[in-house]
Amino acid sequence: DVKVTQSSRYLVKRTGEKVFLECVQDMDHENMFWYRQDPGLGLRLIYFSYDVKMKEKGDIPEGYSVSREKKERFSLILESASTNQTSMYLCASSPGTGTDYEQYFGPGTRLTVT
Amino acid sequence: GQQLNQSPQSMFIQEGEDVSMNCTSSSIFNTWLWYKQDPGEGPVLLIALYKAGELTSNGRLTAQFGITRKDSFLNISASIPSDVGIYFCAGRLPGANSKLTFGKGITLSVRP
């Protein structure tokens, strides 16, 4: 079974803090994704990566950056957390070869910025 | 951007009933996926569809890839209380590499 883990289930940070969300997958997947999920807005793609050290902006990259130094790990960074970044953050991975576009999600990190 | 339409936002059914959910778009998709999300958890993949017309089952769940490639549906038969959750459809546009487009989800409630 594919396993995607996220470093924290719940996180509380203060406005202006730098926040790191970590995601690790154990299936040697090429692609990794970061989404945020808000009520009524569904899943919105922040950034994704299709290879080590490669990244591409998603639909809402402002205020975020990412890092992928190793294939299995994809980090989301909030440079200076703001209250409007309070949300559920979901990491996903997918094989990315042939017809394997199925994304597998981690359990999520619920971030509260006060 | 492209959107997948799921409606209504919420559905309420009685335990034992069957329920059907649609996902529609004005664009053609090459892949359709259905996910379920339990409260406080990440979405879990239920069914993946790769060919127009394809009908796939997973236990009490059945999903179909529409012939026009612009829609998909998910059926749940003989619902049980643990079917409660949010059901998302997702699709891959031609040329979209590995990115998926997600619907906003339907929250299903099952009355015992």
Give residue-wise pLDDT tens across range B21-79: 999 999 999 999 999 999 889 999 999 999 999 999 999 999 999 999 999 999 999 99
Q: Between chain A and chain B, how many beta carbons pairs sit less than 8 Å apart?
A: 53
- Chain A residues whose beta carbon lies within 8 Å of the beta carbon of residue B31: 99, 101
Per the prediction, chain A carries an average pLDDT of 93
Whether the per-residue pLDDT at A33 is higher than 90: the answer is yes
Pairwise CB contact (< 8 Å): A42 & B105: yes
The share of chain B scoring above pLDDT 70, in percent, equals 98
In sequence order, what are the beta bridge partners of B22? B73
Residues B91-110: what's their mean pLDDT? Answer: 89
CA torsion B44-A109-A77-A56 (nearest 10°) is 10
Can you give the pLDDT at residue A98?
A: 59
The answer to whether B55 contacts chain A (CB < 8 Å) is no
Instruction: Tell me which of A87, A88, A101 to substitute to probe the interface with B (most B C-beta atoms closer than 10 Å).
Output: A101
Chain A nearest-CA distance from B13, in A, is 21
**Terminus-to-terminus CA distance in chain B, angstroms?**
39
Pairwise CB contact (< 8 Å): B50 & A41: no
Name the token pair of A95. 């094989």
Name the token pair of A40. 């009524």
Cis peptide before B94 (omega within 30 of 0): no
Pairwise CB contact (< 8 Å): B42 & A99: no
The answer to whether B31 contacts chain A (CB < 8 Å) is yes
- In 10 A of CB A46, how many CB atoms? 22
Residues A80-103: what's their mean pLDDT? Answer: 89
The region that residue B25 occupies, defined by phi over 0 for left and psi between -120 and 50 for alpha, beta otherwise, is beta
CB B56 within 8 A of CB B49: yes
SS3 label, residue B82: helix
CA distance A12 to B95: 39
Runs of H (alpha helix) within chain A: none
Chain A residue closest in CA terms to B96: A101
pLDDT band at A74 (very low <50, low <70, confident <90, very high): very high
The answer to whether B91 contacts chain A (CB < 8 Å) is no
CB B106 within 8 A of CB B6: yes
Pairwise CB contact (< 8 Å): A101 & B43: no
DSSP state of A103: -
